[in-house]
Structure 1
Amino acid sequence: MAKIAYILLCHKDPEAIVQQAQRLTAAGDVLAIHFDARADAEQYRSIRAALADNPNVTFVRRRVKCGWGEWSLVQATLNALEAAVEAFPRATHFYMLSGDCMAIKTAEYAHRFLDARDVDYIESFDFFDSNWIKTGMKDDRLIYRHYFNERTQKALFYRAYRLQKRLGLTRPIPADLQMQIGSQWWCLRRRTVEWILDMTRKRRDIMRFFRTTWIPDETFFQTLVRHLVPDDEIETRTLTFLMFSDYGMPVTFYNDHYDLLLSQDFLFARKISPEAHELKARLGALYAATDVAFELSNEGQNLYRFLAGRGRIGRRFGTRFWEAESTLGRERELMIVICKKWHVAKRLLARIRQVTNLPAIEYLFNEESTPLPDLGGIQGTLEKRTRHRRALMRMLFEYYETDRLIICLDPANLDLLQDFESDRSVTRLLEIECQFSDDFLIGHARRVGLAGERTSAATLERLLPTIRNDIAHETDRVRDAGFSHHHRIRETASAAANAEHIAAFLTVPPDTALELAKTEHLFAD
């Protein structure tokens, strides 16, 4: 069975560190602690005193003064690995942790998980070809030497950097290394760790290179593991659940995140708020528990993006170049059916095609599988369709040899609605107002990745009002936009009342509109 040696890098909160060490070792695992040499010496002495009688805890002999983005973080990790390898000869896996991490599964689950596959778990993406680095310095992290800390010695950092660029003082990357990048939170097998430590002793050129790279904790282990271990023995993922905001800051978890964390397909989570005392107590008790069943839904990332994005609704003021240059044509009519229940809109569109013979296309900007003619590749992906929306619509008008065309849009696509409304062509909207049951909203949450089949009832209960309000907000935005030719049919209205709006939308006779309004099971789920 797996025996985990946790590598704990920390610099504050000695009481929390002691509690974490006691929790992790109580289940039979072991721990090597590196406490930042910059931190308070008295705090370090208190940690050592509290854990002096615990044989499953060891301390790094030589502590390092750590700084973000510096080699010191890698050196501290290597020192902790050496201490763990020596002190715990039966450890099979070495798991990197910080003081802000906590287990979100039991030790029993973690051991079974690691026993199931003989692999190393570490993010290792190609440094140059991947899009792992979103902003800031990329290649220059490697090809220039960085002797100063960008956060604490900003002026010196950039002065040295600009001087090297001006003088062309670049350096080569070690020829036999394929540079990788990824999260610093990994779990490696003993054999892999021993190979890395052996390589650090034999390859001084590699050590010299990484000592002056910028943010080497995102490249050092990731590159060496890929260099030493066959690809089929590397799982390119982290086992620590962490998320980042749009501003590059780690998302912090609080007391009400307990169910969410347990349902994610990870062993640990980072960062837990220092004030989340209830969450810490519950997670602390969890690690030593037995026979706990976990229902994995893994919706955390999508759910965070959804909830965070609700506060960031903006509008762009200028038109894109492809929009400014194109128009659907003054003589053409684009009729748009807007409905959150896609199956209801599709049902109405199918009936409209039968009764009026008008060309009608379903959610072409929402579903990649929507049947479309071959238009030279512009229809190939949702991204292309949206980016070249007017050109696509113009080509569809020409393909069907018509001046009247119907499409469906989700009410979330306000930017598309505004774009088509601003065109020289005539744009008519038909909004279908539906009732939303809890069952429908749960199904919607699962379809868009906000919940999984095993998401707990308590989580869904808290989520449903937010989704319901979000749908109402989308509808309000459409109505507040003040579109001309905006018509609306309602699930609660009579067929005769709905027929008036359908007639105005399609410009068809009243009897034809009434036939469409009486479509069988139109609003059924």
Structure 2
Amino acid sequence: MAKIAFILLCHKDPEAIVKQAQSLTAVGDCLAIHFDARAPAAAYRQIRSALADNPNVVFPKKRVRCGWGEWSLVQATLSAVEAAVEAFPRATHFYMLSGDCMAIKSAEYAHEFLDRRDVDYIESFDYFKSDWIKTGWKEERLIYRHWFNERTAKAAFYAMFEAQKRLGLTRKIPDDLDIMIGSQWWCLRRCTVERVLGFVRRRRDVVRFFASTWIPDETFFQTLVRHLVPEPEIEGRALTFLLFTDYGMPVVFHNDHYDLLLGQDFLFARKISPHATELRRRLGVLYSSEGARFRDSGEGRTLFEFLTAKGRIGHRFAPRFWETESSLGRERALMIVVCRKWHVAKRLVERIRQVTNLPCIDYLFNEEATPLPDLGGLQSTLGKRHRHRRALVRMLFDYYETDRLIVCLDPANLDLLEDFCRDRAQTRVLEVECEFADSYLVGQAMRMGLAGDRTPPETLRRLLPTIRNDMMHESDRIRDGAFDNLLRIREGDTPDVNADPLARFLGVPHDKAREIAETHHLFAD
């Protein structure tokens, strides 16, 4: 009978990881856990301590700092696979999971399912001929080298791409490989996994190639399996049920999706909401049950497409979902940096990003060119961003898979500030008070079209007090708004004084906040 060694990649929620491990191993299956090295060491120790007496759990010798779209995800997977192959010699199948996955069938059913056919289950479509990539880069993922993370070092990521493109620094794809693409959630036989590991040891040139491609977790195993395994032994599908919205965001399942999930022709599902405690409990009990019978209706995708294609709730002419679903999420924290001097705010959030690794977005409601992920076109114009502001921010939370997000706002956007502060989410506002020299106000007048290169000095002298008063009025309006969580740092205060409101705004220790407040030339023009 099949014996599964699960390869679990995770980065948060140690209590849930422990429960997941206990549930999967209770029926005799095995588990190799890679816990992201970026995550707190205390959380990792908690998992290891809780599972120390479980002989069916193993950890890789080295943890990898993982980043979305990076080779590090493949490296972490390989490390966990190697640990599982060595620790569990009787394992017949190796199944990729994340901390958001849960079984939607019993272990008894899963083992019988895998015993029926001697094949590998992995999505593996032709990279260039298939339409697996719906939007964005295709060939560019492969022929250019990508050394930076697109989410945490966006400027460097795109600067390196543009430099290579301008200089014509493309590279060849390995001649003997047909690049394939598909979901990273696969289930492979032991013989296939051993072939892949052997290939990795022999062909360092191929590893080097994939190590600098973009999003290699969608191409590395998919390509190698097709290269190493005869086609009749590959079933081109994943065994993990997942859905994506029209905006490319993964659909999250909640307590009321239990019956729908059990009706799908899959063994696991992703993503299960961390707040769906009842669904998680019921699915955990299900996996260890015996004698359960399942009727696969397979209506999940069709039902989802039918409901969402209308873009409306309940009735044909009801309001759009983004007009009625107003909450960003009660458990989420939206942190808003408000500053008239955009370059100061950008400098500040870049330093915050470096020190805390929190996702930070520049003036997304003010600058059309602000780098944003593809959210199905909702981000394409400033008009759309303003009109569907909450839907946009919700999708950014989902895209970055985070409960904490920082955005920048111009103080003139008081309507946006009031709207977000009325949300059920935890909204905190940091006003950055700057001093405005006459030279800055002259430049501001030119940017606003109120003055030009030939404007007489006496006209500028009459204009500057008006612009200065307008900026002061914006600050007064924010103070009059009586926002609950309004904090303030000032250009005239010392880093030590500014560190206290920064610490409360970010929820970080005082020493980290001081490190941010001491940013070199933070307020310089």
Q: What whole-Å deviation, never above 9, does each CA across 1:44-89 have from its counterpart, x for those lacking one?
A: 0000000000000000111000000000000000000000000000
Q: What whole-Å deviation, never above 9, does each CA across 1:209-251 have from its counterpart, x for those lacking one?
A: 0000000000000000000000000000000000000110100
Q: Using the TM superposition, give the Cα deviation of residue 311 of structure 1 relative to its aligned residue in structure 2, in angstroms.
A: 1.9
Instruction: Tell me, in whole angstroms, the C-alpha distance in 2 between the residues paired with 1:181 and 1:242.
Output: 16
Instruction: Tell me, in whole angstroms, the C-alpha distance in 2 between the residues paired with 1:252 and 1:185.
Output: 16
> 1:265 matched to which residue of 2?
265
Matched ranges for 1:181-330 at <5 A: 181-311=181-311
Instruction: Tell me, in whole angstroms, the C-alpha distance in 2 between the residues paired with 1:74 and 1:65.
Output: 11
Answering whether residue 50 of structure 2 is matched by residue 50 of structure 1, we say: yes
Seen in structure 2, the aligned counterparts of structure 1 residues 143 and 14 have a Cα distance that, compared at 3 Å, is: same
Instruction: Tell me, in whole angstroms, the C-alpha distance in 1 between the residues paired with 2:265 and 2:234.
Output: 17
The one-letter amino acid of 1:226's match is R
Instruction: Tell me, in whole angstroms, the C-alpha distance in 2 between the residues paired with 1:12 and 1:248.
Output: 23
Answering whether residue 66 of structure 2 is matched by residue 60 of structure 1, we say: no
Q: What whole-Å deviation, never above 9, does each CA across 1:400-453 have from its counterpart, x for those lacking one?
A: xxxxxxxxxxxxxxxxxxxxxxxxxxxxxxxxxxxxxxxxxxxxxxxxxxxxxx
> 1:28 matched to which residue of 2?
28
Percent identical residues: 74
Aligned residues: 315
Seen in structure 2, the aligned counterparts of structure 1 residues 297 and 314 have a Cα distance that, compared at 3 Å, is: closer
Instruction: Tell me, in whole angstroms, the C-alpha distance in 2 between the residues paired with 1:40 and 1:52.
Output: 18
TM-score, scaled relative to structure 1: 0.59
Instruction: Tell me, in whole angstroms, the C-alpha distance in 1 between the residues paired with 2:259 and 2:171.
Output: 49
> 1:381 matched to which residue of 2?
none
Instruction: Tell me, in whole angstroms, the C-alpha distance in 2 between the residues paired with 1:314 and 1:50.
Output: 51
TM-score, scaled relative to structure 2: 0.59
Instruction: Tell me, in whole angstroms, the C-alpha distance in 1 between the residues paired with 2:59 and 2:147.
Output: 28
Instruction: Tell me, in whole angstroms, the C-alpha distance in 1 between the residues paired with 2:247 and 2:236.
Output: 24
Instruction: Tell me, in whole angstroms, the C-alpha distance in 1 between the residues paired with 2:204 and 2:278.
Output: 47
Partner of 2:94, secondary structure, is strand
Partner of 2:123, secondary structure, is coil
Matched ranges for 1:401-420 at <5 A: none
Instruction: Tell me, in whole angstroms, the C-alpha distance in 2 between the residues paired with 1:61 and 1:135.
Output: 38
Instruction: Tell me, in whole angstroms, the C-alpha distance in 2 between the residues paired with 1:31 and 1:62.
Output: 16
Instruction: Tell me, in whole angstroms, the C-alpha distance in 1 between the residues paired with 2:105 and 2:180.
Output: 29
Q: Using the TM superposition, give the Cα deviation of residue 308 of structure 1 relative to its aligned residue in structure 2, in angstroms.
A: 1.1
> 2:83 matched to which residue of 1?
83
Q: Using the TM superposition, give the Cα deviation of residue 203 of structure 1 relative to its aligned residue in structure 2, in angstroms.
A: 0.2
Q: Using the TM superposition, give the Cα deviation of residue 191 of structure 1 relative to its aligned residue in structure 2, in angstroms.
A: 0.4
Stretches of structure 1 lacking an aligned partner (at least 5 in a row): 316-525
> 1:136 matched to which residue of 2?
136
Instruction: Tell me, in whole angstroms, the C-alpha distance in 1 between the residues paired with 2:60 and 2:136.
Output: 33
The one-letter amino acid of 1:199's match is F
Matched ranges for 1:124-523 at <5 A: 124-311=124-311
Instruction: Tell me, in whole angstroms, the C-alpha distance in 2 between the residues paired with 1:128 and 1:309.
Output: 28
Instruction: Tell me, in whole angstroms, the C-alpha distance in 1 between the residues paired with 2:22 and 2:316.
Output: 48
Instruction: Tell me, in whole angstroms, the C-alpha distance in 2 between the residues paired with 1:119 and 1:267.
Output: 15
Query: Which structure would you say has the larger Rg?
Result: 1
Instruction: Tell me, in whole angstroms, the C-alpha distance in 2 between the residues paired with 1:153 and 1:179.
Output: 27
> 1:461 matched to which residue of 2?
none
> 1:94 matched to which residue of 2?
94
Task: Assess if the C-alpha contact under 8 Å between 2:255 and 2:278 holds in 1.
Answer: yes
Instruction: Tell me, in whole angstroms, the C-alpha distance in 2 between the residues paired with 1:40 and 1:157.
Output: 26
Stretches of structure 2 lacking an aligned partner (at least 5 in a row): 318-525
Q: What whole-Å deviation, never above 9, does each CA across 1:360-415 have from its counterpart, x for those lacking one?
A: xxxxxxxxxxxxxxxxxxxxxxxxxxxxxxxxxxxxxxxxxxxxxxxxxxxxxxxx
The one-letter amino acid of 2:166's match is R
The one-letter amino acid of 2:203's match is R
Instruction: Tell me, in whole angstroms, the C-alpha distance in 1 between the residues paired with 2:24 and 2:135.
Output: 36
The one-letter amino acid of 2:103's match is A
Task: Assess if the C-alpha contact under 8 Å between 2:31 and 2:57 holds in 1.
Answer: yes
Instruction: Tell me, in whole angstroms, the C-alpha distance in 1 between the residues paired with 2:53 and 2:204.
Output: 38
Instruction: Tell me, in whole angstroms, the C-alpha distance in 2 between the residues paired with 1:314 and 1:229.
Output: 50
Q: What whole-Å deviation, never above 9, does each CA across 1:187-222 have from its counterpart, x for those lacking one?
A: 000000000001111101101100000000000000
The one-letter amino acid of 1:310's match is K
> 1:70 matched to which residue of 2?
70
Task: Assess if the C-alpha contact under 8 Å between 2:31 and 2:58 holds in 1.
Answer: yes
Instruction: Tell me, in whole angstroms, the C-alpha distance in 2 between the residues paired with 1:279 and 1:124.
Output: 31
> 2:460 matched to which residue of 1?
none
Q: Using the TM superposition, give the Cα deviation of residue 307 of structure 1 relative to its aligned residue in structure 2, in angstroms.
A: 1.0
Q: Using the TM superposition, give the Cα deviation of residue 310 of structure 1 relative to its aligned residue in structure 2, in angstroms.
A: 2.2
Instruction: Tell me, in whole angstroms, the C-alpha distance in 2 between the residues paired with 1:14 and 1:46.
Output: 7
Instruction: Tell me, in whole angstroms, the C-alpha distance in 2 between the residues paired with 1:45 and 1:257.
Output: 33
Partner of 2:196, secondary structure, is helix
> 1:439 matched to which residue of 2?
none
Q: Using the TM superposition, give the Cα deviation of residue 309 of structure 1 relative to its aligned residue in structure 2, in angstroms.
A: 1.7
The one-letter amino acid of 1:162's match is E
Answering whether residue 17 of structure 2 is matched by residue 3 of structure 1, we say: no
Q: Using the TM superposition, give the Cα deviation of residue 136 of structure 1 relative to its aligned residue in structure 2, in angstroms.
A: 0.8
Q: What whole-Å deviation, never above 9, does each CA across 1:247-268 have from its counterpart, x for those lacking one?
A: 1010000000000000000000
Task: Assess if the C-alpha contact under 8 Å between 2:310 and 2:316 holds in 1.
Answer: no
The one-letter amino acid of 2:89's match is P
Instruction: Tell me, in whole angstroms, the C-alpha distance in 1 between the residues paired with 2:58 and 2:147.
Output: 31
Seen in structure 2, the aligned counterparts of structure 1 residues 74 and 314 have a Cα distance that, compared at 3 Å, is: farther
Instruction: Tell me, in whole angstroms, the C-alpha distance in 2 between the residues paired with 1:203 and 1:257.
Output: 44
The one-letter amino acid of 1:284's match is G
Partner of 2:141, secondary structure, is helix
Q: Using the TM superposition, give the Cα deviation of residue 133 of structure 1 relative to its aligned residue in structure 2, in angstroms.
A: 0.1
The one-letter amino acid of 1:57's match is V
The one-letter amino acid of 1:150's match is E
Instruction: Tell me, in whole angstroms, the C-alpha distance in 2 between the residues paired with 1:274 and 1:281.
Output: 11
Root-mean-square deviation (CA, aligned residues, Å) is 1.2
Q: Using the TM superposition, give the Cα deviation of residue 7 of structure 1 relative to its aligned residue in structure 2, in angstroms.
A: 0.1
The one-letter amino acid of 2:177's match is L
Instruction: Tell me, in whole angstroms, the C-alpha distance in 2 between the residues paired with 1:267 and 1:43.
Output: 28
Partner of 2:244, secondary structure, is coil
Instruction: Tell me, in whole angstroms, the C-alpha distance in 1 between the residues paired with 2:204 and 2:183.
Output: 24
Instruction: Tell me, in whole angstroms, the C-alpha distance in 1 between the residues paired with 2:264 and 2:58.
Output: 30
Instruction: Tell me, in whole angstroms, the C-alpha distance in 1 between the residues paired with 2:223 and 2:309.
Output: 34
Instruction: Tell me, in whole angstroms, the C-alpha distance in 1 between the residues paired with 2:316 and 2:224.
Output: 44
